[in-house]
């Protein structure tokens, strides 16, 4: 008897529960990668837990968060952070902050500069959902969403309500877009 046959002799027949678990794993996409860019025109205070909140919400939605990057609200720094994530192969980049109408709010402008395609429906869904939950900063946000290469980019307003509601709205939309990008990235 070979070593393999000997090892196989000790394996038990899989039960129905084991087979269902394997089938469910086969249906699930591999864990997707995300990067979070926190944009501020001031030093973020240590009391803010935006990074933790966004990371937890992304993880709940099946994303591994590669990093949380903090940048000043300068177009060149925001572009650099986004481009680094795109080149690094992130499936999703979420920016938080810098989406208002003030002179230092540069995030949508920087994001547009790196987009190949704009996805206005996602931005519209975020604003509509924010209106329903009372996240005023998200309702008046200039935030954009789109695709750069095979990475989905989304701007969120910085309030906790905007982040929580935005992440709840984004889940199915972003997974749908990533699925489409991955389906078409394979030569058929």
At residue 56, the pLDDT reads: 97
According to the model, what pLDDT value does residue 29 have?
52
Residue 186 is predicted with a pLDDT of 53
H-type alpha helices, the chain:
3-9, 16-27, 50-60, 75-87, 107-114, 120-133, 136-139, 160-185
Sheet hosting strand 145-148, strand order edge to edge: 63-72, 32-40, 92-96, 151-156, 145-148, 117-118
Per-domain residue ranges of the chain: 32-182
Instruction: Indicate the average pLDDT of the chain.
Output: 85
Residue with tokens 């269902």: 20
Asked if CATH classification 3.40.50.300 holds for the domain at 32-182, the reply, yes or no, is no
Under the banding of pLDDT at 50, 70 and 90, the label for residue 82 is: very high
Confidence band of 20 (pLDDT split at 50, 70, 90): low
């Amino acid at each position: 008897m070979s070593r393999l046959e000997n090892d196989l002799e000790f394996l038990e027949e899989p039960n129905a529960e084991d087979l269902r678990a394997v089938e469910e794993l086969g249906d699930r996409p591999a864990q997707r990668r995300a990067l979070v860019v926190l944009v501020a025109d001031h030093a973020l205070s240590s009391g803010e837990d935006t990074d933790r909140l966004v990371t937890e919400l992304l993880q709940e939605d099946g994303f591994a968060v590669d990093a949380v990057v903090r940048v000043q609200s300068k177009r060149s720094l925001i572009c650099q952070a986004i481009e680094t994530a795109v080149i690094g192969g992130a499936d999703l980049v979420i920016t938080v902050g810098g989406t208002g109408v003030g002179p230092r709010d540069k995030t949508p402008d920087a994001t547009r500069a790196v987009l190949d395609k704009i996805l206005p429906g996602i931005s519209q869904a975020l604003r509509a959902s924010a209106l329903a939950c009372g996240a005023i900063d998200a309702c008046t946000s200039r935030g954009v969403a789109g695709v750069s290469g095979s990475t989905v980019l989304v701007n969120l307003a910085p309030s906790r309500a905007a982040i929580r509601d935005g992440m709840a709205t984004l889940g199915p939309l972003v997974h749908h877009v990533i699925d489409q990008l991955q389906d078409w990235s394979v030569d058929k």
